[in-house]
Amino acid sequence: MDFDKDLLEEFGNKPCLRPECILTDKVFDSCFQRECVPSKVIDLPCKGAFTDVNVVYGAGFIVDGTLDITPLEPNFARIRFVFRVPFVVTAFDTEKREPVTINDYVEFAKDIRVFLPQAPSEFSFRIVIETRTETLSTQIVRNQIILSIGVFIIVKVVGFVQLLVQSFGYCPTPRECEEFLPEDVCVDFETRPVPPFFPPQLEDMIGPP
């Protein structure tokens, strides 16, 4: 069930590489920054005693209409945009004995300088971001949740190009899928030793004199 091992076994006797042209995205430039929100306040929808706060973050994205690219010196550009990281907060209401879910987000404005080479007018670049978000601390104060949030963002300048690469050719036929078989709880029970039916005696507990 090891895909990498299957590939090595398939191509172990075929080490020959050959040049091939492929169409793919190429990263022309990339950079990263850190962002931190020390106190993101989230209002709870009702009064109560809350516990077990859990936060799940979605992938960050550039807000529509905010991306602005301004050429600088040759092959460089100023890029400005606002990006948003959505998240879902779940807290357990101990009085109603049910979870409460809240959707929210954090936003950041970016103003950076990147390598953006001159290209024919028919060629277009894309600005792509990737984010990794962490909850640094969590507090519950009255009817509010206060989060400290840290975000790593990577900004990439991407273009769709034709590249010459070395290749082993097409991927081999994959392994056959393994059917999911639900566990039969009776199998373990049927092989288990018979347990004692009676409590231990005193001599069994203190041993021989």
**Is residue 55 included in any domain, yes or no?**
yes
pLDDT tens digits, one per residue of 147-179: 999 999 999 999 999 999 998 888 888 888 888
What per-residue confidence (pLDDT) applies to 122? 92
pLDDT tens digits, one per residue of 49-99: 788 889 999 999 999 999 999 999 999 999 999 999 999 999 888 777 888
pLDDT tens digits, one per residue of 34-61: 999 999 999 888 777 788 889 999 999 9
Total domains in the chain come to 1
In whole angstroms, give the CA distance from residue 148 to residue 59.
18
What per-residue confidence (pLDDT) applies to 66? 97
**Is residue 152 included in any domain, yes or no?**
yes
In whole angstroms, give the CA distance from residue 127 to residue 65.
13
**Is residue 11 included in any domain, yes or no?**
no
What is the value of pTM for the model shown?
0.76
Q: Which residue has the higher pLDDT, 126 or 100?
A: 126
What's the one-letter identity of residue 68? D
What per-residue confidence (pLDDT) applies to 60? 97
What's the one-letter identity of residue 169? G
Domain range enclosing 79: 17-193
